[in-house]
Amino acid sequence: MLPRTFWRRQNKKMRQIKVVACVLGLVAVMVANAALAQGPPPMPKAGPEQQRLQYFVGQWKHEGEMKAGPFGPAGKFSSTEDAHMLGDFFLVMHSKSTGPMGAMTEETIIGYDAKQKAYTFDAINTMGEHERSTGQVSGKTWTWTSDDEYDGKMVKGKFVLTEVSPTSYTYKLDTSTDDGKTWANMFEGKATKVK
């Protein structure tokens, strides 16, 4: 038989363990209540960069001229485009065009990447192309740059869009095959808002 002092020590230890368990339980409940009281995190809000994309929302008609080059033969082109915001963060554009290469449909998503501090452009089309570029805006001028490979050559692209009014803008695409030393114009066009 164990002495009473042993049992007293054991009871004292058990009481200490129970007190510690109760304190830990209370702390856990208080932390959980504090977290619940704060509620869910707020929904992200669009910044001025995303709001700037609102300029392009609506239906647009495009007309322009292609020059002969890595993108195809020379000739006139025309297209219609329907652009809307996906939430407050992305501009989604659906376009149908005809030109020297025939008819084409394209889907484009434009957003803003805060880490890169640049606009992003991703487009896919019925000619099997996936175009990507990054852009900056200064005043009413948007400048998009890209690096792509055509026929085994690296081609730099510079697409410059200038807002002429709330309902029209002009644009041109220049390319370089010598790492930006010389540039050649590939096409120029104008867009007019119809709705």
pLDDT for 127 beyond 70: yes
Q: Could you give the CA distance from residue 43 to residue 51 in angstroms, rounded to a whole number?
A: 16
CATH number of 48-193: 2.40.128.20
Annotated domain spans of the chain: 1-41, 48-193
Banded model confidence at residue 171, pLDDT cuts 50, 70, 90:
very high
Percent of the chain with pLDDT over 70: 78
Beta strand extents in the chain (DSSP E only):
58-66, 75-86, 90-99, 102-113, 118-125, 130-138, 141-150, 153-165, 168-176, 184-193
Banded model confidence at residue 7, pLDDT cuts 50, 70, 90:
very low
pLDDT for 23 beyond 50: yes
- When mean pLDDT is compared across 29-33, 111-115, 124-128, 173-177, the lowest value belongs to 29-33
Are the beta carbons of 156 and 180 closer than 8 angstroms? yes
Alpha helix segments (H runs only) across 39-105: 48-52
pLDDT for 3 beyond 70: no
pLDDT in tens, 184-193: 999 999 999 9
5: alpha, beta or left? (left if phi > 0; alpha if psi -120 to 50): alpha
